[in-house]
Structure formats: structure tokens, C-alpha cells
Amino acid sequence: MSENDGFISYELQEFKLFEPLFRWARKKSLWIVAFCTGCGGIEMPPLFTARYDLERFGMMPNPAPRMADLFLITGYVTPKTLKRIIITYEMMQDPKYVLAHGSCPINGGVYWDSYNVVKQLDKYIPIDVAIAGCMPRPEAVMDGIREIMRKIETGEADGWKRYRENYEWYRKNQDELFGEGWREKDAKRWLAWL
């Protein structure tokens, strides 16, 4: 697959010429879904406050998935949270990128033998950049962000495309973990308690 191939195949075909401009614009204004999971939640605020200040990269924490394009998974993911992560991820617009912090999303980290932690997040949603560490320093996170910016520029950050193309595989993994029709089941379980 050549570097540019298919990067804009889902939209903006008419503006192929401007693609470098769009990529530059995308990397310069990454908006983050404020979805803090696990221990990493405590490392998010320092990133955005005066000391490390991510806003100088044009990044904004943002509560609405439809407006965001960067999803930070900041720690261990339980199946219960994973459902919400998947729903939120699917609700984000293309193109969207996932940055995983810490060891837990990569291989379960210290919870490698827990019954209740998802060992390999990449099986359920595609990860573009992972940062190892338990908990990674803000500098490491910033390094990861630099990396994702580089990948956006070159078109390597293509998790959203992989998700679309290999949806069957992701779907199978999700269903294996949660059971078929988990969305409806999970929604309906509260009805009895209303």
C-alpha cells in the first residue's frame, strides 16, 4: 500500500490536491475526548496545565466524541469500560486516532492475571501509538503525541481505516468477550430497575 493510498478515500475525493494541507491542519488541532480510564486519569490534568501545557500543540480536551479526533486510553480497561470505549470510539468522526498510555492497554500490565482487565486493547479497537510505562511521565506522553503527529503527517496513523476494513475481526473479538448483542442487552438491563 503506497503512502497516500486510500487516506482520503472516504471523503474529500475532490480535494486530493489539498491533502497535505488537511493533514497539517489535522495534526495541529487534535481534540481529545476527555475519557479518563484507569490510573492515567490523574496524569491528564498536569498535561494540560501550566507546566507541560498541551494546548501549545493545538490540543483541546473536549467532552463530545463527535467533535474529537484523538482518543486517549489512559490506563487499564475493564470489560465494562471497554463497552463504553467502543461506543465512544465508533461515535467519533473519521479520521480518528487512538493513543494508549501505560502498560495495561498493551498487555494487561500488573493486572496480567486479572479476570476483569482487558489484556490486549488492540484486539478490540485499533491503537495508533502506545506509550509504555506504569504510569508514563508527561514527557513520555508528549513524546507519544509527537509520534502520532508524525504519523498523521505521513498517513501512517490509520487505525480508523483498519477498524473499518477489519470490522468483522474486531467485532468477533468484541462479541467473544461480551457475548452477542451486548449493546441491547447492556442497555436493557436497567429497564427493570427504572
Q: Which residues bind ligand SF4 (CB under 6 A)?
A: 38-40, 75-76, 102-104, 109-110, 134-135
Nearer to another protein, 10 or 112 (CB): 10
Q: Could you tell me which residues are beta bridge partners of residue 99?
A: 72, 129
Here's the x/- map for another protein, 38-77, by CB under 8 A: it reads as: --------------------------xxx-----------
CB closer to another protein out of 29 and 93: 93
Give me the least distance between CB of 15 and another protein, in Å please: 8
Q: Contact at 8 Å (CB) between 86 and 53?
A: no
135 binds, among another protein, ligand SF4, none (CB under 5 to 8 A by kind): ligand SF4
Measured in degrees and rounded to the nearest 5, phi and psi for residue 125 equal -135, 150
Site of grid cell 442497555: 187
Report the Cα–Cα distance between both ends of the chain, in Å, rounded. 51
Q: Is 133 left (phi over 0), alpha (psi -120 to 50) or beta?
A: left
Question: How is residue 169 written as a grid cell?
Answer: 475481526
SS3 at position 38:
coil
Report the alpha-carbon distance of residue 50 to residue 52 in Å, rounded: 6
Q: How far is the CB of 69 from ligand SF4 (least distance, A)?
A: 23
* Choice between 44 and 86, CB closer to ligand SF4: 44
Q: Name residues contacting another protein, limited to 74-133 (CB under 8 A).
A: 83-85, 87-88, 91, 93
Strand partners, 33: 62, 71
Residues at the interface with another protein (CB under 8 A): 10-12, 14-15, 35, 64-66, 83-85, 87-88, 91, 93, 182-184, 186-188, 191
